[in-house]
Amino acid sequence: MHRQLIKKMAKSTNKTEQKKQKVEKMGIFFERSGHSPMAARVFALLLLSEPPYRDFYSIQEFLCASKSAVSNALNHLMREGMVDYITFSGDRKRYFRVNPKGWLEVMQEKIRQAATFRHLIEDVLNERTDTKYLEFNEELKKVIGFLSFLSKEMENINARWEAMQEEK
């Protein structure tokens, strides 16, 4: 397997080699948001591709990966909404690409998700009604307060953003 890699590397042009390094580096960045190494690399590759879409085999070849790994990675990214695909008439292939809007929504959703800790803390407070340690409860209430605020802000953040763009 190492030898295979060497072999393929030898075939790569210098330019592709540079791109591979960028993909790997950027891939590691995406891994930190919880994606598998392969999903992270696929996403990075699509971001850096010209044209900004690629067919299945081209992804597989570029990343020196198995079909199953690529298939699972793409399906994972599509389920999340970060990737989708386009087709061309007379061509049965799918051309996968980053869906920037979907990606943004995924990020927004994660922030909204954070705000749902509020409900968990509310449950905690319900369990702590008889406490002798009121200060702890008060601190938790502050956290709830902040998360409610965040929640409200996130609700209309798109509206506010668009408003700000127009007044510019």
Question: Where along the sequence are the contacts to a copy of itself (CB under 8 A)?
Answer: 22, 26, 29, 34, 47-48, 50-52, 97-98, 100-101, 103-104, 107, 110-111, 114, 117, 120, 123-124, 127-128, 130-133, 136, 139-140, 142-143, 145-147, 149-150, 153, 157, 161, 164-165
Question: Is the Cβ of residue 9 or residue 163 nearer to DNA in the bound state?
Answer: 9
Count other C-beta atoms under 10 Å from residue 24's C-beta. 15
Eight-class DSSP state of 51:
S
Eight-class DSSP state of 128:
T
36 binds DNA (CB under 7 A): yes
Question: Is the Cβ of residue 71 or residue 102 nearer to a copy of itself in the bound state?
Answer: 102
Cα–Cα distances in Å, from 87 out to 38, 53, 73, 91, 120? 23, 10, 19, 7, 44
- Helix-helix angle 117-127:134-155, to 10 degrees: 160
The site partner of 93 among a copy of itself, DNA, none (C-beta below 5 to 8 Å per kind) is: DNA
Q: Rule CB under 7 A: choose which of 57, 117, 146, 161 binds DNA.
A: 57
User: What sign does the dihedral 12-13-18-22 (CA atoms) show?
Assistant: negative
Q: Determine the Cα–Cα distance for residues 59 and 65; give it in Å rounded to an integer.
A: 8
Shortest distance, position 71 Cβ to a copy of itself, whole Å:
24
Cα–Cα distances in Å, from 103 out to 12, 13, 109? 30, 31, 10
Q: Rule CB under 7 A: choose which of 24, 55, 80, 105 binds DNA.
A: 55
Token pair in block for residue 168: 């510019």
71 binds DNA (CB under 7 A): yes
Q: Rule CB under 7 A: choose which of 10, 15, 50, 68 binds DNA.
A: 68
Positions in the binding site for DNA (CB under 7 A):
1, 4, 36-39, 55-57, 64-69, 71-75, 90-94
